[in-house]
Every structure is written in C-alpha cells, then in structure tokens.
Amino acid sequence: MDGDLRHHGFHLSAAALGQLMPMFLWLDSAGTICGSGDTLQKLMGPQALGQPLSAIFNLRRPRGLETAQDLTRAQRLRMTLRAAPGTAFKGIAVPLQGDAGVLVNLSFGYAVRDAVRDHGLSDTDFAATDLAIELLYLAEAKSAVMTEVNKMAARLQGAKALAEEQALTDALTGLGNRRAMEQAMASLLSGARGFALIHLDLDYFKQVNDTLGHAAGDHVLTQIADVLRASVRGADLVARVGGDEFVILLAGVRDQAPIERVGRQILGRMRRPILFDGQICRVAVSMGAVVGPDHKTARISAEDLMAQADLALYASKKAGRARLTFVRADGTLHELAVSEPPP
Amino acid sequence: MHGLINKSLQSFLSDSFGRSEWADIARESGVSQILGPDGFEPMQHYDDALTEAVLQAAVTALKRPRECLLEDLGTYLISNERLEPLRRLLRFGGVSFTDFLYSLDDLQGRSRLAVPELDLPELSVDEAGPGQFSLTCRAGPAGFGFVMVGILRALADDYGALAVLEHQGRDPSTTDEVIVIEVHDPAFHAGRRFDLAVEAR
C-alpha cells in the first residue's frame, strides 16, 4: 500500500476531498489549520483557518502533541471543540506526502444526534456515503417504537393492577381470598337459604415458619388448603382470609350435624403428618362455627357473625386446640369435635 | 398483520369518525370480543382476517367505499399530529418529494431496520420521464395501493409539491397495484434541505 501511494500518488482538489469527507482537516507539520471540509468549517467558524489546532480543539487523545505527525501515531483521535457546546469528535490522521503535513478526518460518533441539533446540520452536511442519516433514522424509529412500547407497558400495568384488585383467588393456595369470602357472605346473607360459617386458625404455624423456613410454611398452607377442599362439598367456599386463617362457608346448612361432619373430616385428615424435606411440620387446626340467619331469624351483619365464630374459635384454642366449637342458637358454646388423640 | 398497522387503522377510525362509531365497528368485526375494550396493541401481531373484518365493518357502518377509507387512512397517517414520528421517519427519504419518491424503493428495507416484524409490501418506483413516475406495490394486502395514494398525496402537500396521483387498479394475476404519479416539484429543483435538527414532537 505504502509503496503504491508513494509511486502512484494522486492529486485531489480540496473541494473534491470535501465532497468525500466534509469533516476533513488539513494541518501543516507545525499543527496549523490550513484547510477543512465545509461541514467542519461551519462547526469551527471562519476564524479557525491559520490557527493552531490546539486553539480550536481540545485534544483528548493523544494528550500531548509536539508536532502534527504525532497525531498519525494515535490509533483513534478524540477531541472536542473548545467553543460551546464542546462538540465531541473521533477521528483518524494520516501523513501527507512530502512536507504537506497531516490529513485528519473527523466524525461525530455517538454524539451525532446532539451535534446535528446543536449545529443545525442537514443531510447535505454529510457525505452521501456517510451512514449518519441512517443512524439518525434508526434513533428516531427506535424512540417512536419505544414510545409505543412504553404506552403499552403503562396500559398493561394498569390492567394488571385492576386485575389484582378484582382478583378473588389466593395466589398461593388457589383458595378464595378475603374479597371472595366477603362477596360470598354478602350474597348468602341476602338470601334465604341459610348457611354455616366455620372460622379456622392454624396453630403452631409461626413455629414452622421460624424453624423450617417460609418454603415449609408455604407448603403447609397448600397442604391445609387441600385438606379443607377435600372436606367440603364442591359448591362450598373455602377462603384464606389471612396469613394462617381460613373461612369455610357451607351454603344451605342450618344445623350442627353437617358442621360436625365437616369438622371431623378436617380433624381426621389433619392427623396425617405434613412432611417438608423429610421434616414433620407440626401444626393443628382450631375451629369455631356458627349458623347464619335464614329468613326466619333476625338479620345479622357479616361482622357480627364473624365475631361469634371468633368467640367459638377462641374457646377451641383455650380448650387445647385441634377441635371445633359451635355457637348454639341460644349463644352458648358447645364442643362438636376434637382430634383424638390431640397432636 | 402487524399491530402498528392495525392500531393505526383503529386510531384513524376512532379519531375521524368518533369513539362510538369505532365501538360499533369493533363489536361488528369481533375486535372487542377478541381483544377487549382497548382493541389493538401496536406491538402485537394479529391475524389478517381480523384486519379485513374491521375494514368490512367500517365500510358497512360508515357507508363509504373501501378505496376512499383506505386513501383517507393514508392521509391520516401523515397529517395527524399523533403520528408525527411516522411523518418524520418517512421524510428521512429525502429533501424533496421527488427524492422521497426515489427513496420508496428502500422503504421496505428501512421499515425492517426500524421494526423487523413489520412486513410492508415491496415497493418499486419507475421514472417514465421528467416528473412522471409509477409506483408498484407488490405482494401487499388488497387495497394497500390506496393507502399509498393517501400517504403520497399528504406528503406531496407536506413537501410543497404538486402531485397528481392515479391508482391503476389491482392486477388480478400478480396482485400488483400500480399508481401513476405526475409531479411538479419546485423544491426538487431548488434543492431544499431537510432540517434534521427538528426533534420529534
């Protein structure tokens, strides 16, 4: 290559060179600016001609400069305009034949968008072969697409929040959640079929969480959910209404016999130990049950009904856990079922 | 068809004829049943049949010929403020309307660079003489040429050029649609510059 250029070098007018490289810079060997392409001229201002390179540019790489030839030894030049807004360039320098100095070609690199805006450049300021226009096009296309994507993400976020708000399922156990229980209770309270409510609380759950970890705790909850589901009819609602609290609503149930049956089913199933990683998770279920009003009895609010069931639940706990206490119509408490032997 | 196209169609119908008209069209075409109340999402892909159903429902509901609706859609794409980024992207094609016409050969490639899944028809431009062009839309959905007529008409206006456009119909054997364009373009002769510095609004 070198040999070719020395022996068959060609002459090129500054105007022709400027068409190929509108951001070329010609320095003499002392580093004085002797000429430039039209676009670079526009950026430097008319007073740049005849000035030393360092008066117009802040050289960042290479740092020190003895002669213009030093530029040609750098792999990549980096420099910024001294004048505001300090437009950044990257470039490359090659020596000219004889004593003609150095030819530098500059480009904006990643700063092209800012440079175009700051200096009001148009497509004719770039060489026809320069990919700057394509790059600007891509940048603009990307931001247009990103705008659409962001709008879509915002819409999905809103839809997700709404869906969560309207969700009726407990994500961990697949049972109903508190909202599902409240809706079902409201509908049962307004109907005339009557229903029974069992409030359940897991005993020793905190110890499982503390000693075996949250994964074990989650496992226990899903196992309990299976036990509860298996112990009721398909149409009955089982809901997880708190961390280790559950409510069962038995539609159409008005007396204690079916409640007792469900309680015994649950206590029976709970005798099978729940294993997690070979470790026994020791938990028990305490229950309090109450029969809701039907059309023959006075109206009662959901809160009052829950409060009654809570009293029975508290009695179950106090009596030694793993049992079911029932609130009779006269308000007295009666133990319906107990786990034999208690765990 | 790509969501960007479907969403444009939805915006066009809803902006130009009102939300309640769009709601009727969405219900008639099955869009609201399939996609829900928001309709199309710009970054999804939809069955072509659904786009066709929307078009047919719009033709029936608005009592307008299909060609007119498609041409108005093209005009809307350029002249509506909501779609300013699209106009800017198309104007990257050149500094004058004539430059832009030349650049249509690259439109498919350029759109692929921006959104790879956006499968635009192949466009080719022939220059029959000074100011005389013909544009061929190949392998596009039926009526795409009318959308192009609307786009070209609005862009000519945007560039300040005078353009007479005529859709030559769809060749039944090749499904090509050809548009004949006659241009009087002072900017092309004046060499006006496209200001790249204007930021997208």
- Environment class of B14 (CB within 10 Å of its CB; exposed 0-12, middle 13-18, buried 19+): middle
pLDDT of A4 above 70: no
Name chain A contacts of B195, Cβ cutoff 8 Å.
120, 122
Inter-helix orientation angle B19-29/B3-17, to 10°:
130
Helices B48-62 + B3-17 axis angle, to 10: 10
What local confidence, expressed as pLDDT, does residue A11 receive?
A: 82
SS3 label, residue B136: strand
ipTM (interface predicted TM):
0.72
**Shortest CB distance from B196 goes to which of A122, A144, A152?**
A122
Whether residue B195 is predicted with pLDDT greater than 70 in this model: the reply is no
Nearest to A80 by CA among A31, A115, A122, A42: A115
Q: What is the pLDDT of residue A174?
A: 92
A124, A137, A144 ranked by CB distance to B193: nearest? A124
Q: Do B61 and B20 contact (CB within 8 A), yes or no? A: no
pLDDT of residue A138: 87
Per-residue pLDDT at A1: 46
- In the block, which residue shows the tokens 């994500």? A171
Judged against a pLDDT cut of 90, whether residue B174 lies above it is answered with no
Confidence at B201, pLDDT banded by 50, 70, 90:
very low
Of the candidates B4, B7, B200, which has its C-beta nearest A140's C-beta? B200
| Predicted local distance difference test score (pLDDT) of residue B191 | 52
CB contact under 8 A, A155 and B38: yes
Average of per-residue pLDDT across B66-87: 90
Which tens digits make up the pLDDT trace of A283-317?
999 999 999 987 655 678 899 999 999 999 999 99
Least confident interval from A27-36, A135-144, A226-235: A135-144
> What's the CA gap between A229 and B45, in Å, rounded?
41
Query: Is B194–A152 a contact, with Cβ atoms under 8 angstroms apart?
Result: no
Mutation target to probe the A interface, by most A beta carbons within 10 A, among B115, B195, B196, B201 is: B196
Q: Report the C-alpha gap between B121 and B2 in whole angstroms.
A: 12
Query: Burial of A280 by CB count in 10 Å (0-12 exposed, 13-18 middle, 19+ buried)?
Result: exposed
* Confidence (pLDDT) at A8: 64
pLDDT at A320: 92
DSSP state of A272: S
Residues A313 and A288: beta-carbon distance below 8 Å: yes
Does pLDDT of A169 surpass 50? Answer: yes
Structure tokens, A104: 């530098």
Tell me the residues of B at the A interface, defined by beta carbons under 8 Å apart. Answer: 4, 7, 38, 41-43, 85-86, 88-89, 92, 95, 110, 113-115, 193-197, 199-200
Chain A closest CA to B174's CA: distance in Å?
32
- For residue A147, which residues of chain B lie inside 8 Å, CB to CB? 85
The secondary structure element, H or E, covering residue A202 is strand A195-203
On the question of pLDDT at A20 being above 70, the answer is: yes
Residues of A with CB under 8 A from a CB of B: 116-117, 119-124, 133-134, 136-138, 140-145, 147-149, 151-152, 155
* Higher pLDDT pick, B129 / A294: B129
d(C-alpha A292, C-alpha A193), whole Å: 10
pTM: 0.63
Distance of CA A37 to CAs A16, A42, B107, Å?
A: 9, 9, 31
Q: Which site among A39, A119, A123 would you substitute to test the B interface, given the most B Cβ atoms closer than 10 Å to its Cβ? A: A123
Mean pLDDT, residues B117-146 taken together? 91
| Mean pLDDT computed over every residue of chain A | 90
Res A341 pLDDT > 80: no
User: A244 catalytic, yes or no?
Assistant: yes
Find which of A133-142, A233-242, B101-110 is predicted with most confidence, using mean pLDDT: A233-242
Mean pLDDT of all residues in A116-135? 87
Closest residue, chain B, to A141 (C-alpha): B114
B160 pLDDT band, cuts 50/70/90, is confident
Which residues contact residue A241 at a Cβ distance below 8 angstroms, ignoring those fewer than 6 apart? A177, A178, A181, A247
Chain A positions touching B89 (Cβ under 8 A) are 137, 140-141, 144
- A130, A170, A236, A244: the catalytic one is A244
Look at the block and give the residue holding tokens 């066709």: B52
**What pLDDT shows up at residue A6?**
52
DSSP state of B140: P
Q: How far is CA B177 from the centre of its chain?
A: 14
Q: Please determine, for residue A5, whether its predicted confidence score (pLDDT) is greater than 90.
A: no
- With 50 as the cut, is the pLDDT of residue A16 above it? yes
Mean per-residue pLDDT for A278-285? 93
What pLDDT is recorded for position A149?
Answer: 87
- B15-30, pLDDT tens digit by residue? 999 999 999 999 999 9
Q: Which amino acid is at B34?
A: I
